């Protein structure tokens, strides 16, 4: 498993597209937060807090994570190396976990530089340091859970096609539906309790609850369950090819 994980990290940094994806993630975040006028601009928001960033990041992740994960199994299938990996004395679970951890760590690497926003917002307050760090830490925790779910979806879609662009688009569509789709469906329902029930199937409701500083075990279990479900689907796809 460690060899697969190391291979994912190494292959990411041996191509220009890998580091470029991280740079673009930070650049787009920075432009929306500090330059472009709009609902995500920190200066237009009127408060020294990072709510705008935590509202924006899930949508940028919808591009970043599929971009990182699209080659996980698509490239292996196209090059014919997937069969060789499956014939090695390595369990399919270890193969999936190695790929998953590689993408997950890369996602964390994209998040780490954004911690400078915490310092910047703290300095912008009426009193320097007058900032709710507990709420920020809770929001970052929610982003990690969202990252886990997006990564598992991206790895699964990479087993559906040898074409990386197809895998990329499928990951975006599936992740977007999982994050926003159920809320959109719930908005069409007039029955309040049924609407709330359907909305809770989506990632956005759970992510926003954690972002408000409410760390509920049910929300954590939800994201972990999503991840395990798509990891199982990935494993099923691999067994079909073995």
Which residues have a Cβ under 8 Å from the Cβ of 219 and sit 6 or more positions away?
145, 206, 209, 210
In terms of phi and psi (left: phi > 0; alpha: psi -120 to 50; beta: otherwise), the region of 228 is alpha
In the prediction, which pLDDT does 174 show? 96
In whole angstroms, what separates CA 11 from the centre of its chain? 20
pLDDT above 80: residue 63? yes
Residue 130 per-residue DSSP state = -
pLDDT above 90: residue 159? yes
Cα 199 from Cα 179, distance rounded (Å): 10
Domain containing residue 143: 2-241
CB of 86 within 8 A of CB of 238?
yes
Using one digit for the tens of pLDDT, what is the confidence trace for 167-223? 999 999 999 999 999 999 998 888 888 988 999 999 999 998 888 777 889 999 999
Higher per-residue confidence, 96 vs 85: 96
pTM higher than the cut 0.85:
yes
pLDDT above 80: residue 88? no
**Nearest-CA neighbor of 157 among 120, 103, 81?**
103
Higher per-residue confidence, 208 vs 85: 208
pLDDT above 70: residue 86? yes
Cα 114 from Cα 3, distance rounded (Å): 29
How many domains are there within the chain? 1
């Amino acid at each position: 498993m460690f060899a697969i994980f190391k291979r994912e990290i190494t292959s990411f940094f041996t191509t220009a597209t890998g580091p470029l994806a991280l740079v673009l993630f930070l650049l787009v975040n920075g432009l929306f937060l500090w330059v472009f006028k709009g609902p995500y601009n920190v200066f237009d928001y009127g408060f020294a807090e990072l709510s705008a960033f935590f509202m924006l990041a899930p949508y940028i992740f919808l591009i970043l994570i599929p971009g990182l994960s699209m080659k996980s199994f698509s490239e292996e299938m196209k090059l014919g190396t997937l069969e060789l990996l499956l014939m090695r004395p390595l369990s399919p679970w270890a193969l999936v976990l190695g790929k998953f951890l590689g993408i997950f760590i890369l996602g964390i690497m994209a998040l780490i530089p954004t911690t400078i926003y915490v310092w910047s917002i703290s300095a912008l307050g009426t009193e320097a340091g007058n900032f709710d760090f507990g709420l920020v830490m809770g929001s970052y925790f929610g982003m990690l859970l969202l990252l886990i779910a997006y990564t598992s979806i991206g790895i699964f879609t990479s087993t559906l096609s040898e074409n990386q662009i197809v895998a990329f688009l499928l990951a975006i569509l599936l992740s977007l539906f999982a994050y926003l789709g159920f809320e959109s469906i719930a908005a069409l329902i007039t029955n309040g309790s049924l609407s709330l029930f359907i909305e809770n199937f989506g990632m956005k409701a759970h992510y926003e609850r954690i972002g408000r500083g409410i760390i509920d075990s049910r929300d954590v279990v939800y994201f972990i369950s999503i991840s395990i479900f798509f990891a199982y689907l990935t494993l099923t796809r691999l067994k079909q090819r073995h």
